[in-house]
Amino acid sequence: MENPHSATLTQEQGSSLWRDGWIRLCKNHLALFGLAVIAFFCVIALLTPWIAPYGYEQQDLQLGASPPSAAHWLGTDIFGRDMLTRIMYGSRVSLLVGFVATGVALVIGVLWGTVAGYAGGRVDAVMMRLVDILYALPFMIFIVLLMVVFGRNILLLFLAIGAVEWLTMARIVRGQVQNLRHQEFIEAAFSMGLSRWIIIRRHLIPNTLGPVIVYTTLTIPNVMLLEAFLSFLGLGIQPPQSSWGLLISHGVESMEEYPWLLIFPGLALSITLFALNFLGDGLRDALDPKASKD
C-alpha cells in the first residue's frame, strides 16, 4: 500500500512512488527489452506510410510468391506484394485494436469500479452482481455473434472487445477503492468540503493507478490475441484492410508451398505478445509488489 499522504501532497511524495517503480523496472532487463520492442514497433507502425519499402497495393504478378531476397526482405505473397510492407501495415491495425480496445476497457472498468467501490452498500452490491453475471457469460461466443449480426466493422470490434475486457478492471479498481475509502486522507478531503466527484477524480483514481497500469499492460496482448483470433476465422478485420491475424490466416492457406507467408506474420505477432507480457510482468513487480507472488 502506498503512503496514505501521497495523494494530498501529489507533487512531492507521489512522484517518488513512480520514481521507485521506474528504478525497479530498470533493473528488470527483460521488461526493459519488452518496452524497447513495443516502442520500436509503435514507431514503425506510425511511420509506415513514409518508410514502407513498397506501396500497400503494389503488386508484381510476374514475380508471384518469392522467398526472402535482397529486394524483398521477407519475401512476397502470391500476388507479388512485399510481405514486409504488408506486415508493417498490418501492425497498424493490430496495435491500434490492441490500444483502443484496451482504452475502452480501461475507461469503463475504472469508472465502474470506482463508483461501486466508493458508493458501497446496495449500489456496490448491484453493480458488482452485474459484473458477476457478465463474467459468467461466454463472451467469446458473443463477440462472434456480434460480428455476424452487425457486420465486420472495425469500430464494433473495438467496442465488443472493450466491453469484454473491462470486467476484471472493474473488480481490481473496486477492491483498491474500497481499501482507500476509509483512510484518513479521504476523510480529511471530505471534511474539507470537497465534492464527491473531486474526491473520486483527484484522490481515488490516482491512487489506484499502479494496479491499473499493470493490468492494462497485460490486457493489451489479450486484446490483440482476440482480434487475431477473430480475423483468423474471417470474422474480424476484412480485406483490403490487413492485420497480423488476417495475414496469418492467408499464410496458412499456402503454407505448404510458401511457408514464409505464415512464419513472418506469426513471428511479428508472437514477438509483440512476448514483449507486452514481459513488460506487464515487470511493471507488476515494479508498481504492485504485493501482487507479484506467482
Partner 1 sequence: MLRFILSRLLQAIPVLLVVITATFLLVRCAPGGPFSAEKAVPPEVVRALEAQYRLDQPIWQQYLSYLGDLARGEFGPSFRYPGRTVNELIAGGLPITAELAFYAMLVALLIGVCAGVIAALRPNTPQDYLPMSAAMLGICMPSFLMGPLLVLVFGIWLEWLPVSGWGELAGDKILPAITLGTGYAAYIARLSRGGMLEVMSQDYIRTARAKGLPERVVVLKHALRGGLIPVVAFLGPAFAGLLSGSFVVETIFQIPGLGRFYVQAAFNRDYTMILGTTVFFATLIVLFNLLADIITVWINPKMRHQLSRSR
Binding site for partner 1 (CB under 8 A): 133, 136-138, 140-142, 144-151, 221, 225, 228-229, 232-235, 245, 248-249, 251-252, 255-256, 259, 262-263, 266, 269-270, 273-274, 277-278, 293-294
Contact 33, 275 (CB under 8 A): yes
Indicate the DSSP class of residue 69: -
| CB of 263 vs partner 1, minimal distance in Å | 8
Contact 291, 284 (CB under 8 A): yes
When the beta carbons of 166 and 278 are compared against partner 1, the nearer one is: 278
| CB of 146 vs partner 1, minimal distance in Å | 7
Amino acid at 271: I
| CB of 142 vs partner 1, minimal distance in Å | 7
Q: Give Cα separations from 255 to 73, 82, 90, 170 (angstroms).
A: 18, 17, 19, 42
When the beta carbons of 51 and 252 are compared against partner 1, the nearer one is: 252
Contacts of 192 (CB under 8 A, 6+ apart): none
Indicate the DSSP class of residue 4: G
Alpha helices per DSSP H over the chain: 15-27, 29-51, 83-119, 121-136, 139-150, 154-181, 184-191, 196-198, 205-207, 209-233, 244-253, 260-287
When the beta carbons of 63 and 154 are compared against partner 1, the nearer one is: 154
Contact 263, 67 (CB under 8 A): no
Amino acid at 98: G
| CB of 267 vs partner 1, minimal distance in Å | 9
When the beta carbons of 40 and 135 are compared against partner 1, the nearer one is: 135
When the beta carbons of 120 and 234 are compared against partner 1, the nearer one is: 234
| CB of 274 vs partner 1, minimal distance in Å | 5
When the beta carbons of 121 and 138 are compared against partner 1, the nearer one is: 138
The whole-angstrom separation of Cα 187 and Cα 168 is 28
Give the burial class of 32: count Cβ atoms within 10 A of its Cβ; 0-12 exposed, 13-18 middle, 19 or more buried.
middle
The whole-angstrom separation of Cα 80 and Cα 59 is 5
| CB of 233 vs partner 1, minimal distance in Å | 6
| CB of 147 vs partner 1, minimal distance in Å | 8
When the beta carbons of 114 and 168 are compared against partner 1, the nearer one is: 168
When the beta carbons of 185 and 258 are compared against partner 1, the nearer one is: 258
| CB of 166 vs partner 1, minimal distance in Å | 17
Peptide bond into 240 cis (omega under 30): yes
